Structure 1
């Protein structure tokens, strides 16, 4: 089954409603936003981070218009150094190429060793949008259902002020 098919299967299994928009490949959040203009839901960006020694991994999800404060992330995680994870780490941990990182990539993380953080600001929104492990679709899911999805695949998450 393809990477999107796994997402669709899991959401249907959990009886989570979702809306999918098909579009040409989107390589940036700006590009993706242009394909989904006018549809209700916060546009997210998901960043896959690691510590200096690549012994801890973090998925940070926030509004795509917001800039990540790396000092705050270091403070929250207790790390002295934190950086964007490499393409190889992304493939190894979530089986995803660059440009499609999202909460749905956690379906592929068998080790369950990625810590998940949501910016508090977006958790107040009714719906969120993500690439569902492919950059030719954008999926909209109710925020409460994203948390239900995470619980169903045994991932804890933290809501933080970034």
Structure 2
């Protein structure tokens, strides 16, 4: 499993500009809002889901933090099977992170095809920078959305942009 330091080194090796700040652990969007003066740009919430019954890939939804989302409506809109929040063991196995540290950077640890990564189009097209955890909730990394998508493609993933302008 990749470490935060290894991830940041990987970004540097790819020539991807980023800014990372350390802070006390944050577990919720509300806790992270206190960090805002030091973290301009878009802020995310991440939903990591697993199919309830059917086999299939896990689902990582990266959404603008204040976007209202109903899980069942989201998975239906994506044509995915009924899903539930993944447990801590699945987080560790698939993304290499602990609860409270879910991040699209966790895709560095996921096998291609094991996790379907979907991104709120407004988030990815509406901000010059977005802020995500670099595999730990004690740091936040600002990265350009296009660079994050390029990283995922370089890792063999196929990130999807989805329109969540209508409530789901």
> How high is the TM-score relative to the length of structure 2?
0.88
Partner of 1:152: 154
Are residue 126 (structure 1) and residue 128 (structure 2) matched? yes
Map Cα deviations across residues 81-131 of structure 1 (whole Å, 9 max, x no partner): 111111111111112110011111111113541001001110121111001
Count of aligned positions: 162
Residue pairs, 1:57-96, within 5 angstroms? 57-96=58-97
Compute the RMSD of aligned alpha carbons.
1.8
Unaligned runs of 5+ in 1: none
> How high is the TM-score relative to the length of structure 1?
0.91
Q: Determine the C-alpha separation between the residues in 2 that align with 1:54 and 1:91.
A: 21
Q: Determine the C-alpha separation between the residues in 2 that align with 1:5 and 1:80.
A: 35
Q: Determine the C-alpha separation between the residues in 1 that align with 2:157 and 2:81.
A: 24
**Secondary structure of 1:40's partner?**
coil
Unaligned runs of 5+ in 2: none
Partner of 2:23: 23
**Secondary structure of 1:37's partner?**
helix
* Alpha carbons 2:2, 2:96 under 8 Å: kept: no
**Secondary structure of 1:109's partner?**
coil
- C-alpha displacement of 1:70: 2.1
User: Where has structure 1 moved over 3 Å in runs of 4 or more?
Assistant: none
> Could you say if the C-alpha distance between residues 71 and 16 of structure 1 is closer, same or farther in structure 2, counting changes exceeding 3 Å?
same
Q: Determine the C-alpha separation between the residues in 1 that align with 2:5 and 2:41.
A: 22
Q: Determine the C-alpha separation between the residues in 2 that align with 1:3 and 1:30.
A: 26
Q: Determine the C-alpha separation between the residues in 1 that align with 2:54 and 2:94.
A: 11
Q: Determine the C-alpha separation between the residues in 1 that align with 2:81 and 2:26.
A: 33
Partner of 1:3: 3
* Alpha carbons 2:108, 2:155 under 8 Å: kept: yes
